[in-house]
């Protein structure tokens, strides 16, 4: 692996090692069109491709939603991670070691061993599953339920032998110390203290991947049909890599569709997720058989602004609905609840009706959690006045308990009460009075973590510009104010000059002797020029994809537009010369007008020796610089007597 010696080299070396077409092509279907590649934008829904990737310049740009940037920006936007996480992810991909101190390097090595152990175990389980003899029963079971080989291979489904030490004694696992395999959750120590045994036995295995880098962090195992094991599902224990309350199964495959649709759908089991993706409902994940937590919500809302929970009509579903009310109040996300027809599991629904019906009739018909819970209580209590009064009381008690489960934003609470008022037909003033008298009751077991999660699309760019692993300083852009109308000729000249500098940075050295960044009249181009001038002075000629990392989203879009406009100019020398000549003449006109204005001002001050001397001096200077000036341009000048 390569390594880095100085932090300033990190971004440059990583970007230089990544092929942006290959990176983006893993999640976007790209087709060659001229010098670029095009595809459907992964950041908004569209029918015609407007998403362009430039292999020459190593940047992407969507002409629809204006998303743009380099490889790091793409990972930040796609995975909704911070700059440093995106940089490390790409460094791992390129085989580059980012610098670490001694303690963190040792810890990183131990962590990498856990990742390697999970990967080796997955290969072992997969080999068992596809073995003609060993995996025959498991394959027949899943094929009988309608799963295709393509879907099973995509999710890397495997099989744990019906034996106590099969994984422990596998050749591919011998390089890992048993205590490390215990730490990874793959082995357990015997009660006698002598030896170890496999955690998973006689189970169909579903590897659980982290959503950002798609590395295996744990496993879920479904018991084989006919087994006497009472635990139908078994997950890996908590490990340094895996926390069940923070992980969603299938998210590595689902995040892209969540971004496109704005919706995350949560089902209960692994097989439900695999079947949903097999039929094209690729925004579906599972929370591994546990209740949804605030950590799940924090992860999912990076990709979606709405979470739809798919429940069975049982007591567990009721409890999950109560929990969803808590999360809805305390987390900045919409939560809805959907139901399937009675006696039907999600995989059965997909086989019978397909993904389109699922999106339309199940997800599309989901009720927001407040409406769902009220409908549930009202139906259970009965329709007479007394029963409905009890339902209202129970509903408001639930809201009070949910409110006590964590901090609730005042504006959100006000909006919730307005919605509740319409649902239960109780005046909103009465609701406010009730909750003023009744303090929020702690629901127990749940506290919102301190701090707020920033979903801003530009947060990653902000971190990029301030990170110690990125650029240390970026010129602060001026506050944008409504721009004065710019002469069309000057508009063209400014765009040509800035575009050519982006295309051929070596031209800056001569150009900066003739003009500076503040000569640009347009505020956006002036901000871009200031950053560009600073980059040239501090770090030398910029690679375009690296320069993009120094820009905010608006300036990235502007830079790409300017570069695109000059890309096909055949005679760059003539174009740049003409634009600079315009600037020189325009500057000369400004100076001339300033001098004429000063001559008029002095002439209008009246007689006096000082005024006469100043006027004469200015006039002589003006005539010297403008020998062929037309006197009619000067306007009336008052003659004074000495």
> Pick from 586, 582, 598: which is nearest to 634 by CA?
598
Q: Domain total for the chain?
A: 5
**198-212, 454-468, 509-523, 539-553: least confidently modelled range:** 454-468
Task: Check whether 37 has a pLDDT greater than 70.
Answer: yes
Regarding whether 501 and 430 lie in a shared domain, the answer is no
Pair (386, 301) in one structural domain: yes
pLDDT at 164: 94
Question: Who wins on pLDDT, 8 or 193?
Answer: 193
- Binning pLDDT at 50, 70 and 90, where does residue 415 land? confident
Does residue 130 contact residue 138 with C-beta atoms inside 8 Å? no
In a shared domain, residues 17 and 148: no
Residues 508 and 411 in one domain: no
Do 404 and 304 fall into the same domain? yes
pLDDT level of residue 591 (50, 70, 90 thresholds): confident
Q: Which of 426, 440, 441, 406 is nearest to 328 (CA)?
A: 406
Residue 451 has pLDDT above 50, yes or no: no
Higher per-residue confidence, 192 vs 590: 192
Confidence of residue 639 (pLDDT cuts 50, 70, 90): very low
pLDDT digits (tens, 9 = 90+) for 219-233: 999 999 988 888 888
Average pLDDT over residues 617-640: 51
**216-223/233-235 β-pairing:** antiparallel
Indicate if 432 and 479 belong to the same structural domain. no
Does residue 610 lie within any of the structural domains? Answer: yes
Contacts with 502 (C-beta within 8 Å, 6 or more apart), sequence order:
532, 544, 547, 559, 562, 563, 566
Q: Is residue 13 part of a domain?
A: yes
The domain that holds 147 is classified in CATH as 3.90.980.10
Higher pLDDT, residue 512 or 624? 512
pLDDT at residue 599, rounded to an integer = 64
Q: What would the pLDDT profile of 136-149 be if each residue is shown by its tens digit? A: 999 999 999 999 99
Answer yes or no: do 346 and 420 share one domain: yes
If asked whether residues 389 and 510 sit together in one domain, one would say no
Q: For the chain, give the percent of residues with pLDDT over 90.
A: 31
Mean pLDDT of 484-503: 86
Q: Give me the pLDDT at residue 155, please.
A: 96
Q: Is residue 615 part of a domain?
A: yes
How many Å separate Cα 433 from the centre of its chain?
41
Contact 327, 294 (CB under 8 A): yes
Comparing 368 with 468, which gets the higher pLDDT? 368
pLDDT at 425 over 80: yes
Instruction: Please state the length of the chain.
Output: 642
- The whole-number pLDDT of residue 452 equals 34
3-state SS assignment for residue 504: coil
CA proximity to 310, closest of 276, 272, 338: 338
Question: Residues with Cβ < 8 Å from 622, sequence gap 6 or more?
Answer: 592, 595, 596, 599, 629
Task: Tell me the per-residue pLDDT of 195-207, one tens digit each, with 9 for 90 and over.
Answer: 999 999 999 999 9
426 and 292 share one domain: yes
Task: Report how many helices (DSSP H) and strands (DSSP E) the chain contains, helices first.
Answer: 26, 18
- pLDDT value for 268: 85
Query: Are 409 and 317 found together in one domain?
Result: yes
Same domain for 91 and 124? no
The boundaries of the domain holding residue 340 are 251-437
> Which CATH number does the domain housing residue 43 bear?
3.90.580.10
Say if residue 171 is in the same domain as residue 59: no
Residue 459 included in any domain: no
DSSP character for 43? Answer: T
**Does 162 reside within a domain?**
yes
What is residue 213's predicted lDDT score, i.e. its pLDDT? 65
Average pLDDT, the chain: 80
Asked whether the predicted pLDDT for residue 455 surpasses 50, the reply is no
From residue 252, alpha-carbon distances to 144, 218, 478 in Å are 27, 14, 40
When pLDDT is cut at 50, 70 and 90, the band that residue 459 belongs to is very low
CATH no. for residue 361? 3.40.1360.10
Task: Look at residues 59, 78, 97 and tell me which one is the last residue of a structural domain.
Answer: 97
> What does 122-166 look like in DSSP terms, one character per residue?
HHHHHHHHHSTTTTHHHHHHHHHTT--HHHHHHTT-EEE-SSSST
Measure Cα distances from 7 to 20, 95, 408, 466, 543 in Å. 22, 17, 41, 13, 18
Pick the last residue of a domain from 80, 97, 114.
97
Residue 269 lies in a domain: yes
Q: What does the DSSP 8-state code read for residue 447?
A: -
Confidence bin at 604 (pLDDT 50/70/90): low
Q: What angle do CA 109, 207, 179 make, to 5 degrees?
A: 40
Q: Is residue 391 part of a domain?
A: yes
As a whole number, mean pLDDT of residues 338-354 equals 89
On whether residue 587 sits in a domain, the answer given is yes
Q: Are 202 and 229 in contact (CB under 8 A)?
A: yes
Domain boundary among 202, 224, 242: 242
Least confident of 70-74, 376-380, 590-594: 590-594
Q: Could you tell me how far CA 438 lies from the centroid of its own chain?
A: 40
Query: Within 10 A of 434 (CB to CB), how many other CB atoms are there?
Result: 15
Q: Kindly indicate the confidence band of residue 430, based on its pLDDT and cuts at 50, 70 and 90.
A: confident
Q: Which is nearest to 563 in space by CA: 100, 68, 114?
A: 68
């Amino acid at each position: 692996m390569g390594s880095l010696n100085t932090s300033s080299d990190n971004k440059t070396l990583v970007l230089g090692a990544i092929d942006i077409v290959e990176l983006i092509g893993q999640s976007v279907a790209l087709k060659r069109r001229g010098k670029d590649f095009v595809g459907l934008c992964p950041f908004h829904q569209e029918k015609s491709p407007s998403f362009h990737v430039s292999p020459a310049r190593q940047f992407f740009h969507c002409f629809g939603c204006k998303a743009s940037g380099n490889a790091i920006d793409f990972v930040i936007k796609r995975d909704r991670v911070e700059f440093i996480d995106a940089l490390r992810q790409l460094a791992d991909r390129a085989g580059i070691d980012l610098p670490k101190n001694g303690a963190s390097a040792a810890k990183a090595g131990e962590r990498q061993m856990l990742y390697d152990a999970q990967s080796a175990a997955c290969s072992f389980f997969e080999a068992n599953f596809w073995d003609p003899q060993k995996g025959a029963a498991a394959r027949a079971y899943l094929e009988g339920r309608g799963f295709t080989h393509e879907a099973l291979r995509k999710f890397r489904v495997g099989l744990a032998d019906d034996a106590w030490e099969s994984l422990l004694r596998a050749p591919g696992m011998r390089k890992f110390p048993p205590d490390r395999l215990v730490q990874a959750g793959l082995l357990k120590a015997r009660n006698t203290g002598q030896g170890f045994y496999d955690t998973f036995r006689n189970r169909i295995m579903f590897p659980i991947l982290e959503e950002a880098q798609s590395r295996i962090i744990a496993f879920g195992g479904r018991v084989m049909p006919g087994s006497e094991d009472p635990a139908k599902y078994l997950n890996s224990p908590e490990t340094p890599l895996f926390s069940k309350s923070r992980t969603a199964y299938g998210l590595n495959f689902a995040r892209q569709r969540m971004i496109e649709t704005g919706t995350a759908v949560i089902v209960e089991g692994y097989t439900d997720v695999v079947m949903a993706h097999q039929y094209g409902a690729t925004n579906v994940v599972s929370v591994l058989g546990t209740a949804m937590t605030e950590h799940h919500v924090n992860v999912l809302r990076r990709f979606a602004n709405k979470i739809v929970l798919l429940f069975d009509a049982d007591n567990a579903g009721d409890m999950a609905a109560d929990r969803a009310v808590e999360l809805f109040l305390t987390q900045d996300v919409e939560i809805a609840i959907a139901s399937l027809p009675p006696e039907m599991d999600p995989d059965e629904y997909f086989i019978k009706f397909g993904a389109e019906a699922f999106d339309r009739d199940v997800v599309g018909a989901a009720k927001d959690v407040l409406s769902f819970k009220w409908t549930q209580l009202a139906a259970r209590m009965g329709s007479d006045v007394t029963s409905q009064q009890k339902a209202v009381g129970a509903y408001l008690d639930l809201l009070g308990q949910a409110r006590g489960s964590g901090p609730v934003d005042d504006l959100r609470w006000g909006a919730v009460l307005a919605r509740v008022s319409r649902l239960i037909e109780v005046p909103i003033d009465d609701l406010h009075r009730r909750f003023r008298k009744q303090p929020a009751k702690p629901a127990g077991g749940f506290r919102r973590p301190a701090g707020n999660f920033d979903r801003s699309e530009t947060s990653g760019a902000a971190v990029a510009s301030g990170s110690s692993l990125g650029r240390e300083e970026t010129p602060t852009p001026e506050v944008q104010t409504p721009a004065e109308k710019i002469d069309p000729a000057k508009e063209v000249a400014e765009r040509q000059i800035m575009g050519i500098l982006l295309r051929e940075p070596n031209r800056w050295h001569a150009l900066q002797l003739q003009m500076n960044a503040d000569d640009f009249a347009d505020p956006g181009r002036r901000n871009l020029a200031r950053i560009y001038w600073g980059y040239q002075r501090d770090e030398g000629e910029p690679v375009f994809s690296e320069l993009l990392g120094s820009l905010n989203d608006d300036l990235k879009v502007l830079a790409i537009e300017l570069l695109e406009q000059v890309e096909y100019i055949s005679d760059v020398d003539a174009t740049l010369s003409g634009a600079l000549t315009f600037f020189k003449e325009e500057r000369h006109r400004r100076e001339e007008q300033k001098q004429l204005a000063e001559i008029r001002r002095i002439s209008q001050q009246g007689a006096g020796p000082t005024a006469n001397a100043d006027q004469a001096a200015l006039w002589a200077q003006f005539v010297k610089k403008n020998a062929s000036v037309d006197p009619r341009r000067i306007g009336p000048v008052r003659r004074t007597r000495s």
